[in-house]
Structure 1
Amino acid sequence: GGQREWRYCLRAYTNWFEEITNSFDYPWSNGYVEGTHNKIKTVKRVAFGMQNFHHFRTKLLFVCSKDR
Structure 2
Amino acid sequence: MNIVLLVSVHIVTGISTAGINHIGLKLAPKESAIVYLTCKNIITSIFSSIAPIHACRFLYASFIGNSGYLEE
TM-score for both structures, normalised by structure 1: 0.44
User: Rg: which structure is higher?
Assistant: 1
TM-score for both structures, normalised by structure 2: 0.42
Using CA pairs below 8 Å that are at least 6 residues apart, which structure has the higher relative contact order?
A: 1
